[in-house]
Amino acid sequence: MSEQQLDPVQLGLFVSRLESVCEEMGAVLQRAAFSPNIKDRLDFSCAIFDSRGQLCAQAAHIPVHLGSMAYAMADIVGQAPWQPGDMMVLNDPFMGGTHLPDVTVVAPIFLDDKLQGFVANRAHHADIGASTPGSMPLSERLDEEGVVIPPTLLQRAGVLQQHLLDDWFGPGEHGDFIAQLSANRAGLRRMGELLDSLPVSFGDAAAQLQDYGERIARQRLSELPQGVFTFVDYMDSDGFGATRLPIRVALTIAGDRVHLDFDGTADQVRGNINCPRSVAAAAVFYVFRCLMPEAAPVCAGLFRPISLAVPEGCLLNARRPAAVAAGNVETSMRATDVVLGALAQAAPELVPAAAHGSMNNVAMGSLQGQPWHYYETLGGGSGAHREGAGLSAVQCHMTNTLNTPVESLEMHYPLRICEYAIRRGSGGAGQHGGGDGLVREFEFLAEARFTLLTERRDIAPWGLAGGEDAACGENYFNGVRLPGKVSAQAGVGDRLRIETPGGGGWGVL
């Protein structure tokens, strides 16, 4: 192939074709999966990387999945001497993962026996062998949260190591895992067609893409107010007695670069709201991606001018074997709030008030008889902003899943939904009101154990520019209020009610 610069049209087509490959991978994964968690809620993500593990493209899937993969992929791809037909699997949070239910499958792209890059997908499995059903336990150690899979070649040169699959997953999870392999195979086919049609090598095209992304980012960052801007927000609790845990950031905007220092963040805790550094990076990348032009390619180059310092041993950079199940879902949301809060000190017109700030995690099921596992994140209110009101009953920031439809939930599990509604009046008041949360009430039709990992039950989502805070969320079991993080047994006829927080208001009413 001749080495040459792609012209703007060729570069635009290259970006669009990469993104379409990611979208097709996601479509295959959704349609081949068995669990409501993947086929209905779309709790998965797909991306493409170059040979060094730098992000080249992603579909508009789950920000916390893709941001953490973008940060950690360079370390992951150095774990094996790759061959055509390989598939690597991992979920270890301290080796490139997020939390154990999120299982990542990586496959190398080869052309003429030369490694070109990688396709990857990450999907949430409701049963990863945790101590309680739904694999989102109220845990104190990583080993209580399920099977820990270090980077391992599940498929070598096209040969599937079935015994590994049998060791790691129950029979009910095999179908979803095979769907992940199928998604990567679809990506490899499409990438083969793309590589054959490029006027330059994939490595050259990817390098030009990264440089283009960096130019866009530097231009945008140079337009922001200069200076150091600080913010602090708090986690409600870790579920084991530690409360009001600070996450602090000092955001420095200097020319066309930004640096975020999380010094002063609480030390890692006994409960599972700890997270690996890659999750903190995902929150940072997400916020700054939102500031970029809509057509900016989501690639590693877009994040080159952004650096972060996260003290080792804090909530956002925990040491093994810290429990991390809720760090990926709850602490990532608060880290997002903190970065947005710091940006609001610099440019309040660009930033919304705080969203509901919790993924409102509900996990339940039974390990007795015919085992079943249900897991869902629930939406809430989004924050209002200068241009208008927040939205009600939506997923915000680090999650981008759908709900489990009532019909699907009741078909798959011994559950009945008694109420599913907007929680009127829970958004913060202001010139523009924050969005309202939602109400979801479950009735148990069989004995089960449930676990809630929720935040913003004590510390409200903040308003901005004089807008009022939103209402905190509330959890009830048979009419009795529960703490934000709890695990309990339920009998037939018992009811669990989740009322999620709203979003903060914007502007003086």
171 in a structural domain:
yes
In whole angstroms, how far apart are CA 480 and each of 227, 493, 497?
48, 15, 10
338 in a structural domain:
no
- Please indicate whether residue 174 or residue 156 has the higher confidence score (pLDDT): 156
Give the alpha-carbon dihedral of 413, 419, 421, 424, to 10 degrees. -140
- 1 pLDDT higher than 60: no
pLDDT tens-digit map of 203-221: 999 999 999 999 999 999 9
Residue with tokens 């934000």: 484
387 in a structural domain:
yes
CA-closest candidate to residue 367, choices 55, 85, 135: 135
Burial 109-144 (b: 16+ CB within 10 A, else e): bbbeeebbbbbbbbbbbbbbbbbbbbbbbbbbebeb
Q: Which residues pair with 106 in a beta bridge?
A: 88, 120
Determine the Cα–Cα distance for residues 422 and 440; give it in Å rounded to an integer: 9
pLDDT at 476: 98
The DSSP code for 282 is: H
172 in a structural domain:
yes
HSE on the CB side for 163, CA within 13 Å? 0
Mean pLDDT of 182-191: 98
- Please indicate whether residue 57 or residue 400 has the higher confidence score (pLDDT): 57
pLDDT band at 3 (very low <50, low <70, confident <90, very high): low
- Please indicate whether residue 315 or residue 161 has the higher confidence score (pLDDT): 315
pLDDT at 2: 44
Mean pLDDT of 459-475: 98
What is the extent of the structural domain holding 143? 8-213
Number of structural domains the chain divides into: 2
245 in a structural domain:
no
- 79 pLDDT higher than 70: yes
What mean pLDDT value characterizes the chain?
A: 94
- 392 pLDDT higher than 60: yes
pLDDT at 262: 98
Phi, psi of 307 (to 5 degrees): -130, 155
* Contact assessment for residue 295 and residue 345, using Cβ atoms and an 8 Å cutoff: no
List, in order, residues 6 or more apart from 401 with CB less than 8 Å away.
Answer: 41, 42, 43, 62, 377, 395
- The whole-model pTM stands at 0.94
Q: Which residue among 213, 246, 271 closes a domain?
A: 213
Helices (H) and strands (E) in the chain, counts: 9, 20
In whole angstroms, how far apart are CA 180 and each of 28, 126, 358?
8, 15, 27
pLDDT band at 368 (very low <50, low <70, confident <90, very high): confident
333 in a structural domain:
no
Residue with tokens 């009998």: 491
410 in a structural domain:
yes
The DSSP code for 303 is: G
pLDDT tens-digit map of 474-502: 999 999 999 999 999 999 999 999 999 99
Q: Which residue among 213, 233, 251 closes a domain?
A: 213
Determine the Cα–Cα distance for residues 503 and 506; give it in Å rounded to an integer: 10
Which pair of structure tokens corresponds to residue 230? 């600080």
Determine the Cα–Cα distance for residues 267 and 322; give it in Å rounded to an integer: 11
- 278 pLDDT higher than 50: yes
Residue with tokens 């095999």: 174
List, in order, residues 6 or more apart from 67 with CB less than 8 Å away.
Answer: 278, 279, 281, 282, 283, 284, 285, 286
Mean pLDDT of 430-444: 98
| DSSP string for 162-209 | HHHHHHHS-HHHHHHHHHHHHHHHHHHHHHHHHHHH-SS-HHHHHHHH
* Contact assessment for residue 219 and residue 256, using Cβ atoms and an 8 Å cutoff: yes
* Contact assessment for residue 129 and residue 121, using Cβ atoms and an 8 Å cutoff: no
365 in a structural domain:
yes
In whole angstroms, how far apart are CA 63 and each of 67, 143, 276?
6, 26, 15
Q: Which residue among 178, 213, 248 closes a domain?
A: 213
pLDDT tens-digit map of 15-41: 999 999 999 999 999 999 999 989 999
Give the alpha-carbon dihedral of 347, 349, 353, 355, to 10 degrees. -90
pLDDT band at 171 (very low <50, low <70, confident <90, very high): low
Phi, psi of 422 (to 5 degrees): -75, 135
- 168 pLDDT higher than 60: yes
pLDDT at 343: 97
